[in-house]
Structure 1
């Protein structure tokens, strides 16, 4: 985050605007309906009579001195003379104010964000002064989808806040009450102008508020690109009280979750399980039993080599309500991002998802079936045994010249695609120095990857 937007109360605050041009008038309009005391200095002269702000402060046609600025919280300077603007900025700071110098961000302490004003609710978009037109465009898009009645709804909530706190002492029950109030018929009634009816509905909800039973959502986070989250996954993340997440879930995805949700890391790497699976399941159960909305967030899809099935069984056995939200599994996302069709009428009539890390003392892969022609293999967790996997496939009949592709960090900005042939798969992995999660693709369709096509084009040239 490069810019922090603070919420500054304007009750009993003094705001000073210096300047007489359109930029200064825009600042005056910004505070026209606020409870702040606004002072307007116009040392360079006043605008024409038709441009004078209606109901605005009486202009003072001189340059302010330090005594004029004492006690001011915010000072906006909109002057053409940069030297004079810089001098006045220093005077304002000496008087204890925060300073904005219009169109000269380097001289000020803050920039004015693009604002959406709904009375009690104010939404701000800031770019740190780098792209104000972009901020205004974003404001227009957001403003178009926000209900006009947000202000009255927030005002009603403020009036009932102390009553709700006294009547519903349990924190989680109180949170659930506000969620119902803001998302249900009470909000609709405010939007229709029926504030008294909305108040009665909120009071009814308050009288029946009670702690809820906890719930677990086992959620697929996809391959890492936050734009590949499903809408349902995003909604569940934004309602979560606790997020129990894996190593493969990047910060870009976690950033889409509710900011005050607790995050518990239970990541695993090969041979290093920071929290054993049975303890993860017990943690999920324990959190749900305290009434929390628990999200078990897993990379890719929880039911594709994600041990989601084991966690589902554990929740059911413990009597914990559990729901599964599928995600875009890594094979689909990596193949699409690398340009590898998993099936093709001419080359692959089937696709098989397989893991190279079978359960200890478990059943070994059926190499004869996996080595069959006209299919694509998507191999999860395969880099550590790439040479052994290739040797087993070749021994079972797959040609050593079969195209392969390694996709590291698929769908992410640092994605890397390495291509070659099956007989050199172990060498490709060794030379690649892989540091991120990677999938292996074996089959004729791997030749369609953008990286492979680039190699073939160079060879033809």
Structure 2
């Protein structure tokens, strides 16, 4: 199984107090970040401890002061971020691409904030501003979709069909958000079903085709035939059922438990070059 350096989380802090210590140029961006997320900045450690604050940003210019404050805050039960000191951090802050309410967070686990920033700047040019409108439209359409597709797996496959590249709601189409109401009231797309085989000849996920990446992201069941590299499996849905392929008659179980709704099963066959 492939591993990740840290667990990405989106922490809601609206109306909550957050400790920010420091007066230099490194502290001010943290104050702005907290306020932008709806948090209330507290700048006194003793007060933060007394009032049960849970998050702390420490940005003193003096390295020793940072270490002492981090120990005290952590002992009080806070999760701590020390600016430019990843070895003292319980969490790091990513570079954020904002298409409210859609957020793309790019992190390197403290290895290089500059790299994260420049990846974000590239994505800023690629991802349309209308993504936020699309997210809001899908949120509004949720009750309609739940009525049309009471089963969660069916609903997810319908949304996948609409949002895939070239689909009715292709996220890169600037007018996709305007199509959501009619799409939700209509057929809501025809989700792909049945079994599809992917033959892999390379362990490098960069060698996957766009279609293969899409199928891995939409599969309800993965049938693993051979020593499929974990880097490839990491591209699949985390909640997809995974089974070892046991013969040509295996078609994969219905993810919903109903035989008339087979969903999408992907057989992954690894054939490394000899």
Range of TM-score over shorter length: 0.7 to 0.9
2: CA distance, partners of 1:202 / 1:243 = 29
Cα pair distance change 1:232/1:4, threshold 3 Å: same
Secondary structure at 2:77's aligned position in 1? coil
| Aligned residue number for residue 457 of structure 1 | none
Q: How many corresponding residue pairs?
A: 264
- Match status 1:232 vs 2:211: yes
Contact 1:16/1:38 (8 A) holds in 2:
yes
Contact 2:144/2:185 (8 A) holds in 1:
no
Secondary structure at 2:268's aligned position in 1? strand
Cα pair distance change 1:297/1:108, threshold 3 Å: closer
Deviations 1:209-228 (A, max 9, x none): 59867321111111323333
Gaps of 5+ in 1: 42-63, 267-274, 301-329, 335-438, 440-461
| Aligned residue number for residue 348 of structure 1 | none
* Equivalent residue runs for 1:53-452 within 5 Å: 64-69=44-49, 70-183=51-164, 184-186=167-169, 191-192=174-175, 197-205=178-186, 208-209=187-188, 214-266=193-245, 275=246, 277=247, 281-284=248-251, 287=254, 290-300=261-271, 330=272, 334=273, 439=274
Over 3 Å off, 4+ runs: 180-192, 208-213, 285-290
TM-score (norm 1): 0.51
Secondary structure at 1:283's aligned position in 2? coil
State the shift of 1:77 in Å.
1.1
Contact 2:144/2:184 (8 A) holds in 1:
no
2: CA distance, partners of 1:35 / 1:167 = 36
2: CA distance, partners of 1:67 / 1:213 = 56
Contact 2:96/2:120 (8 A) holds in 1:
yes
1: CA distance, partners of 2:24 / 2:130 = 33
Which of the pair has more CA radius of gyration?
A: 1
RMSD after superposition: 2.9
Contact 1:152/1:190 (8 A) holds in 2:
no
Cα pair distance change 1:131/1:291, threshold 3 Å: same
State the shift of 1:175 in Å.
0.9
Cα pair distance change 1:289/1:222, threshold 3 Å: farther
| Aligned residue number for residue 272 of structure 1 | none
Gaps of 5+ in 2: none
Q: Pick 1 or 2: higher relative contact order, CA cutoff 8 A, min separation 6.
A: 2
State the shift of 1:178 in Å.
2.0
1: CA distance, partners of 2:39 / 2:182 = 34
State the shift of 1:265 in Å.
1.4
State the shift of 1:169 in Å.
0.7
Secondary structure at 1:12's aligned position in 2? coil
Secondary structure at 2:125's aligned position in 1? helix
Cα pair distance change 1:198/1:210, threshold 3 Å: closer
Secondary structure at 1:282's aligned position in 2? coil
| Aligned residue number for residue 36 of structure 2 | 33
